[in-house]
């Protein structure tokens, strides 16, 4: 088992070899600095069901056991996609890696590292994900069309994670009252 996409390896030769093998279709890497202690940030992430409240396209995550979880994610055109994932590396407070189980509908893997930032600056969260979209090239194109493409989602989800860890809430463009409009002239009486 691998603990991260090969194309995300630190070694340049390994990255170049992986880039040419055609095994993994989409690789996304992002880093965000969160003004919270490393152990606190790791602990929140390690409880995978927490992520469903942060990640826009994740409907739910069910813990199967200490190493396995079931992910149910929104796909294009109102469909959902689900897969079982297994933790392949867990270094508490420092890193966690996973991959989908063999035969899963979505082939995916990832690694998140939690690194102390400069003193008083919190934690750098470095996330690298790889996935092979269902439906191949057409599925990838549809995902981009509906803005469910991993590069877009990873950036948004890490920003939402940062907001939640630093403030306890995620900013939303939705109306705070739940009404469609906050404008008094547009309210139905």
Which residues have CB under 8 Å from 29's CB, separation 6+? 8, 126, 127, 128, 129
Bigger pLDDT: 158 vs 145: 158
Calpha distance 129→55 (Å, rounded): 14
Q: What is the three-class DSSP state of 182?
A: coil
Mean of pLDDT values over 160-171: 93
Residue 141: pLDDT over 50: no
User: pLDDT per residue over 22-32, tens digit each?
Assistant: 444 567 788 99
Position 143 scores a pLDDT of 52
Segment 81-101 mean pLDDT: 94
In this model, does residue 170 exceed pLDDT 50?
A: yes
State how far the Cα of 120 lies from the Cα of 114, in Å rounded to an integer.
15
Instruction: Tell whether the torsion through CA atoms of 140, 143, 147 and 149 is positive or negative.
Output: negative
Per-residue pLDDT at 17: 46
Give the chain's length: 189
Domains of the chain: 25-168 (3.30.530.20)
At 31 the pLDDT is: 93
Is the pLDDT confidence value at 188 over 70?
no
What does the mean pLDDT of the chain come to? 78
What kind and span of H or E run contains 42? helix 38-46
Give one DSSP letter per residue of 72-128, joined into a string: EEE-GGG-EEEEEEEEEEEETTTEEEEEEPTT-SSEEEEEEEEEE-STTS-EEEEEE
pLDDT band (50, 70, 90) for residue 132: confident
39-84, pLDDT tens digit by residue?
A: 999 999 999 999 999 988 889 999 999 999 999 988 767 788 889 9
- Residue 135 pLDDT exceeds 60: no
pLDDT at 81: 82
pLDDT for the residue numbered 176: 57
Whether 138 has a pLDDT exceeding 90, the answer reads: no
Confidence class for position 161, pLDDT limits 50, 70, 90: very high
């Amino acid at each position: 088992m691998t603990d991260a996409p090969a194309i995300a390896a630190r070694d340049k030769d390994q990255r170049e070899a992986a880039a040419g093998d055609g095994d993994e279709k989409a690789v996304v890497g992002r880093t965000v600095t969160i003004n919270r202690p490393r152990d606190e940030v790791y602990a929140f992430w390690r409880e995978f069901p927490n992520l469903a409240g942060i990640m826009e396209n994740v409907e739910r995550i069910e813990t199967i056991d200490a190493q396995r979880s079931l992910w149910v994610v929104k796909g294009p055109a109102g469909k959902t996609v689900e897969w079982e994932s297994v933790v392949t590396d867990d270094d508490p407070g420092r890193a966690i890696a996973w991959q989908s189980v063999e035969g899963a509908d979505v082939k995916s893997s990832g690694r998140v590292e939690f690194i102390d930032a400069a003193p008083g600056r919190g934690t750098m969260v470095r996330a690298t994900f790889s996935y092979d979209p269902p439906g191949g090239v057409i599925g990838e194109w549809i995902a981009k069309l509906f803005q469910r493409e991993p590069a877009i989602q990873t950036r948004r989800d890490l920003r939402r994670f940062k907001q939640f860890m630093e403030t306890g809430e995620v900013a939303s463009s939705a109306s705070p009252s739940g009404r469609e409009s906050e404008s008094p002239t547009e309210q139905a009486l």
